[in-house]
């Protein structure tokens, strides 16, 4: 099946935050005041942003940035949520495959089997958020955007758009086949360049094997707070591709070695004791 | 000579050993669950991670309490882990012939612990510190540390897990399953369960240590004898 994706056009966003509300409503994420204990920033300063950070109950938020261009202030809006990467660090490190790519190419997760181990902090976009057990202080479950494919709340399977896209009054958010949205996004960025936005950038086309949330930007990605060249952290690769196989190899070889030793040493002991002298 | 036994590990040491065995096995199993994807399902709702933390507290608390009650024993044991000489190299050279071919001829005389036991004890101390340091980062600094720091802590924790896990198999095997370690009631299994080994075993496998303890006993006996002689001669003079 063709991969689905979201196209966000920053030049069309009015920062109404309808997407934030629609997301909470559809995914039954009650509004809560962000708590430090949930590992999120709770204080907001000098910005219209609200809430201050993503949280287990806030899977999408609109970010605000003020920059100066040609002596004038520009107010830039961006959409912050899971990027649904093709080379997803969270999928790579999840010890029991609770985080996975679904058939639409989105990164979904099985909350029942999530162990809360937190290895998915490997995310280069700092997206996963965790709930903490107040009694034991142990982090229990991870939460993030699933591109509205959460089992039981799967809008995509019912032929609908994600809640955030549905709510967008200016069509700054579009949902559809990824290939078509890539074509559209490239065209819009080309148009922006013609109009004089020389730093215009189409983000998500190639990053991390292709994101399933792509951005039409009229400035460079860094200006919008997006990492220029996101990478799966080396530590995440080392854990999955080096440590795991090494563990099996070392453990297996040790057991085989001990087994061989037993056979050889037993034989040697019997041979040595043959002449009739008995130990003890 | 009649069958005699000598004490190898005192009771507090044995209690600590089995306490650590229990907590390490708990940690090993609850950690292994995260390492094997099909088993990781057992960790859902984080309860194995809670057990892992409880066991970790016990693993740290036991030696600390031991060291507080028996500072002398703890200091001596630590010193033993970090005391190495050329004799240890000779042991390593002779070990394959002994453990595979039951050929003892090249084995140098050993102290209270042989080189292999000392290596395991050394690894336990060093990787214990590594485990606790990286585990503390993963437990307490997850909110505050940069994700890369958290990930490298996991990496290091896992390296320690692989090394000590593999060595645990070797340790178990050598203490109860290796053909030369039988019968169990005379050797190291006995040393860690009942606390004693046969004098015969001590002389054959820990010659240097056996000499030390018998020398001490002999010296005591000699001193006692001298005392008796002095008392006797003194008494003779006055009498």
* pLDDT of B69 strictly over 90: yes
Q: How far apart are CA A193 and CA A175, in angstroms?
A: 24
CATH number at residue A155: 3.30.70.20
Q: Kindly identify which residue of chain B lies nearest to residue A115, measuring between CA atoms.
A: B44
Mean pLDDT confidence for B190-218: 81
ipTM score assigned to the predicted complex? 0.82
A 4-63 residues with CB < 8 A to B = 39
Mean pLDDT confidence for A148-167: 93
DSSP 8-class letter at A135: T
Q: B112 with B217, same domain?
A: no
Chains A and B form CB pairs within 8 A to the count of 131
Q: B134 with B148, same domain?
A: yes
Number of domains in chain B: 2
Q: A213 with A78, same domain?
A: yes
Q: B141 with B26, same domain?
A: yes
Q: A161 with A280, same domain?
A: no
Q: A17 with A106, same domain?
A: yes
Q: A150 with A48, same domain?
A: yes
DSSP 8-class letter at A149: -
CA A266, distance to chain mean position in Å, is 54
Number of domains in chain A: 2
Q: What pLDDT is attached to residue B20?
A: 92
Task: Please report the sign of the dihedral spanned by the C-alpha atoms of residue A229, residue A179, residue A187, residue A61.
Answer: negative
Q: B70 with B35, same domain?
A: yes
Q: Which residues of B touch A238 (CB under 8 A)?
A: 155
Residue A92 to residues A100, A151, A234, A263, B160: CA-CA distances in angstroms? Answer: 9, 21, 12, 40, 22
B101-137 residue pLDDT tens: 878 777 888 888 888 888 999 999 999 999 999 999 9
Q: A58 with A176, same domain?
A: yes
CATH number at residue B196: 1.20.950.20
A158-217 residue pLDDT tens: 999 999 999 999 999 999 999 999 999 999 999 999 999 999 999 999 999 999 999 999
CB contact under 8 A, B162 and A243: yes
Q: B222 with B156, same domain?
A: no
Q: How far apart are CA A126 and CA A117, in angstroms?
A: 16
Q: Which residues of B touch A122 (CB under 8 A)?
A: 147, 151
> pTM value?
0.82
Alpha helices in chain A (DSSP H): 18-26, 89-93, 163-167, 178-194, 234-237, 244-273
Q: What pLDDT is attached to residue A37?
A: 64
Q: A70 with A178, same domain?
A: yes
Q: How far apart are CA B182 and CA A219, in angstroms?
A: 76
What does pLDDT average to over chain B? Answer: 84
Q: A216 with A268, same domain?
A: no
B226-237 residue pLDDT tens: 666 555 444 444
R_g of chain B computed on alpha carbons: 23
B168: domain range? 5-202
Q: A136 with A204, same domain?
A: yes
Q: B95 with B212, same domain?
A: no
Put simply, whether B47 touches A (Cβ < 8 Å) is: no
Q: A176 with A259, same domain?
A: no
Q: What pLDDT is attached to residue A120?
A: 92
Q: A194 with A114, same domain?
A: yes
Give B206 or B162, the one with higher predicted confidence. Answer: B162
Q: A57 with A165, same domain?
A: yes
Answer whether the bond into residue A53 is a cis peptide, omega within 30°. Answer: no
Q: What pLDDT is attached to residue A3?
A: 92
* pLDDT of A118 strictly over 80: yes
Put simply, whether A187 touches B (Cβ < 8 Å) is: no
Q: A131 with A151, same domain?
A: yes
CB contact under 8 A, B147 and A265: no
Instruction: Give the CA diameter of chain A.
Output: 102
Q: CB-CB: which of A113, A116, A121 is closest to B150?
A: A121
Q: B113 with B193, same domain?
A: yes
CB contact under 8 A, B101 and A265: yes
A108: domain range? 4-224
A21-58 residue pLDDT tens: 999 999 999 877 666 666 666 666 667 888 888 888 89
Alpha helices in chain B (DSSP H): 11-35, 47-69, 71-81, 86-101, 115-140, 147-172, 188-193, 199-205, 207-238
Q: B172 with B223, same domain?
A: no
User: What is the Cβ-side half-sphere exposure of residue A20, based on CA atoms within 13 angstroms?
Assistant: 21
Residue B193 to residues A36, A70, B115, B189, B190: CA-CA distances in angstroms? Answer: 49, 82, 21, 6, 5
Nearest CA to A77 among A168, A179, A176?
A168
Q: B104 with B16, same domain?
A: yes
- DSSP-assigned beta bridge partners for residue A129: A143
A 120-179 residues with CB < 8 A to B = 121-123, 126, 133, 136, 138-140
Mapped onto helix, strand or coil, the DSSP state of residue B39 is coil
Contact A117, B139 (CB under 8 A): no
Residue B83 to residues A24, B66, B76, B181: CA-CA distances in angstroms? Answer: 63, 21, 10, 25
Residue B151 to residues A118, B133, B226: CA-CA distances in angstroms? Answer: 9, 14, 67
Q: B128 with B236, same domain?
A: no
Q: B178 with B120, same domain?
A: yes
Q: B123 with B232, same domain?
A: no
Put simply, whether A245 touches B (Cβ < 8 Å) is: no
């Amino acid at each position: 099946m063709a991969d689905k994706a979201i196209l966000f056009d920053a030049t069309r966003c009015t920062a109404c935050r309808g997407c934030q509300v629609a997301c909470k409503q559809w995914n039954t994420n009650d509004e809560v005041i962000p708590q430090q204990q949930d590992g999120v920033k709770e204080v907001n300063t000098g910005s219209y942003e609200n809430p201050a950070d993503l949280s287990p109950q806030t899977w999408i938020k609109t970010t605000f940035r003020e920059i100066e261009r040609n002596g004038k202030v520009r107010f830039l809006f961006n959409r912050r949520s899971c990027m649904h990467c093709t080379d997803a660090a969270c999928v790579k490190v999840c010890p029991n495959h609770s985080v996975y790519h679904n058939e639409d190419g989105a990164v979904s997760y099985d909350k029942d089997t999530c162990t809360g181990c937190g290895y998915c902090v490997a995310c280069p976009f700092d997206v996963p958020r965790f709930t903490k057990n107040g009694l034991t202080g142990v982090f229990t479950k991870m939460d993030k955007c699933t591109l509205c494919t959460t089992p039981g709340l799967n809008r995509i399977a019912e032929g609908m758009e994600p809640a955030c896209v549905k709510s967008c009054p200016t069509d700054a958010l579009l949902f559809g086949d990824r290939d078509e949205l890539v074509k559209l996004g490239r065209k819009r960025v080309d148009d922006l360049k013609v109009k004089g936005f020389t730093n215009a950038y189409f983000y998500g086309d190639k990053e991390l094997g292709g994101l399933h949330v792509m951005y039409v930007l009229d400035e460079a990605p860094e200006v919008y707070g997006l990492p220029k060249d996101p990478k799966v952290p080396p530590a995440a690769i080392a854990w999955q591709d080096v440590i795991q196989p090494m563990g099996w190899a070392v453990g297996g070889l040790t057991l085989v070695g001990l087994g061989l030793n037993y056979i050889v040493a037993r034989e040697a002991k019997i041979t040595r004791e043959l002449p009739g002298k008995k130990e003890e | 000579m009649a069958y005699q036994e000598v004490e190898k590990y005192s009771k507090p040491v044995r209690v600590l050993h089995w306490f650590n065995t229990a907590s390490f096995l708990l940690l090993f199993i609850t950690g292994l669950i995260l390492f094997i994807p099909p088993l990781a399902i057992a960790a859902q709702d984080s309860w194995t991670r809670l057990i892992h933390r409880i066991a970790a507290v016990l693993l740290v608390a036991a030696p600390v309490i031991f060291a507080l009650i028996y500072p002398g024993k703890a200091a001596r044991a630590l010193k033993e882990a970090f005391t190495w000489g050329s004799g240890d190299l000779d042991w390593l050279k002779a070990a394959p012939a002994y453990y595979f071919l039951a050929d003892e001829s090249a084995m140098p005389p050993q102290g209270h612990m042989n080189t292999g036991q000392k290596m395991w004890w050394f690894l336990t101390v060093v990787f214990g510190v590594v485990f606790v340091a990286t585990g503390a980062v993963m437990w307490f600094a997850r909110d505050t540390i940069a994700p890369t720091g958290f990930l490298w802590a996991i990496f290091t924790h896992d390296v320690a897990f692989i090394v000590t896990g593999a060595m645990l198999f070797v340790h178990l095997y050598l203490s109860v399953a290796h053909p030369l370690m039988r019968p169990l009631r005379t050797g190291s299994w006995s040393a860690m369960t009942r606390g004693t080994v046969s004098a015969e075993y001590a002389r054959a496998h820990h010659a240097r240590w056996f000499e030390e303890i018998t020398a001490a006993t002999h010296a005591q006996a000699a001193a006692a004898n001298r005392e008796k002689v002095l008392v006797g001669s003194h008494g003779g003079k006055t009498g």
